[in-house]
Amino acid sequence: MTFPFDTIDSDLDLVLERDIDVPVELVWTAWTTPKHVKNWFVPKPWTISSCEIDLRPGGAFNTVMRSPEGQEYPNSGCYLEIIPNERMVWTDTLLPGYRPSPKPFFTAALLLSPTGTGTHYKAIAIHGNSETRKQHEDMGFYDGWGTVADQLVDYIKETM
């Protein structure tokens, strides 16, 4: 069986890929522990005011993003696949417990693999149509997700 993220469709998918100089195990811990996620998951000066993680297929991945002006934006999602230190897949198309979402936007995968000096980090966001893909790109996917990856590395080096 082919993993659904093996083939990238440039009309529907966005990809951020890089090698980072921190170990896979620490990247995984930073992504799967609410107290860590709250420190790096959105580009500063935005913050995460709340984070809920139930790390299992069907479990919740919920965050609340807070703007510098104090406005809050809840994000609810459902994990689809968890392979520790290797892969996690989540979506906002489903809510926890696989309940359909009233406002689906994308499904994402984080793929991690060890390198000689750290981690190969690949984040993929897939969309149901080209309009939502373009909307996500225009929202700043590359700058935002790239900044977050940099903040993740800095956080790991400074704290973990």
pTM of the predicted protein model: 0.94
CB-based contacts of 29: which residues, under 8 Å, 6+ apart? 36, 160
pLDDT at 2 over 60: no
For residue range 61-109, what is the model confidence (pLDDT) as tens digits?
Answer: 999 999 999 999 999 999 999 999 999 999 999 988 899 998 889 999 9
- What pLDDT score was predicted for residue 12? 94
Nearest to 20 by CA among 30, 35, 34: 30
What are the structure tokens assigned to 86, written together?
């290797």
pLDDT averaged over every residue in the chain: 95
User: Where do the domains of the chain lie, and which CATH numbers do they carry?
Assistant: 13-159 (3.30.530.20)
CB-based contacts of 46: which residues, under 8 Å, 6+ apart? 65, 66, 67, 68
- What pLDDT score was predicted for residue 1? 44
For residue range 130-145, what is the model confidence (pLDDT) as tens digits?
Answer: 999 999 999 999 999 9
C-alpha R_g of the chain: 15
CB-based contacts of 79: which residues, under 8 Å, 6+ apart? 54, 55, 56, 57, 58, 59, 60, 61, 88, 89, 90
Share of the chain above pLDDT 90, in %: 89
Considering Cα of 141, then 146, then 151, then 157, what sign does the dihedral take? positive
Q: Is 117 exposed, middle or buried (0-12, 13-18, 19+ CB in 10 A)?
A: exposed
* pLDDT tier at 3, thresholds 50, 70, 90: low
